[in-house]
Amino acid sequence: MRWLKPLLLRAVLWSLGAPLAFAADAPGEDLFKKGSALIQPYMAVVDRESADPTTPQAKQQIAEGIRLLTLVTQQDSQNWSAFWFIGKGEQARRNHAAAERAFQRAFEINPGQSAVGRELMIESICAGHSADAVRVAEKSVSLNPRDSEMVANLALAYLADGQIGKARRAVNESIVLEPRDEITHALSQEITAVEDGRKPRNYCPP
């Protein structure tokens, strides 16, 4: 399933400055920068090899990054960017339940940000909450109806939840929106295999 990880993780690497939710010199800005910088090397993203999150040094850095970002959220409970990076840190640690909680909080604050909905859907699938993944993906598509990647993610959520007919319709819609996307075509082939009787796989990325 080489297509699975790119489908779920593409277009989520931001520069550190891009998602900042701070005014100049706002409390917590330095904590955010330090915390997110500690986590960023270990984030799962497309087109960049992530550092190994399992080494002792990595574990220490990720834990410290999460600690600093948690302080940020205590100062500003509406800072979705901090919750997003906490989620990425927990994701690197393969702590799917904690990652799902962090991304859920970010999604509640900023549901229109596609990277938030995408990550929450991933972790809901990984945590075994496929119905929640569907709800998140449906909401994300309602807010970004022309985003072919989000529609493809909705197809995957339906597939993980066993709603094969809806998965087929969604993946076809994504292909109409972006006919040349090879990853979505691979997802379409996966759906075809399930339609033909093959048992669905575990759709949590490795």
Per-residue pLDDT of 20-71, as tens digits, reads 444 334 568 899 999 999 999 999 876 678 899 999 999 999 999 999 999 9
* Predicted structure pTM score: 0.89
Tell me what pLDDT residue 50 has: 87
pLDDT tens per residue, range 133-180: 999 999 999 999 999 999 999 999 999 999 999 999 999 999 999 999
Q: Is 84 helix (H, G, I), strand (E, B) or coil?
A: helix
Instruction: Please name the residue that has the structure tokens 């330095």.
Output: 30
161-183 b/e with 16+ CB inside 10 Å = b? bebeebbbebbebbbebbeebeb
Q: What pLDDT was estimated at residue 28? A: 82
pLDDT in tens, 96-117: 999 999 999 999 999 988 889 9
Distance of CA 151 to the CA centre of its chain: 14
For domain 4-10+28-195, which CATH number applies: 3.40.50.300, 3.40.630.40, 1.10.1270.20, 1.25.40.10?
A: 1.25.40.10
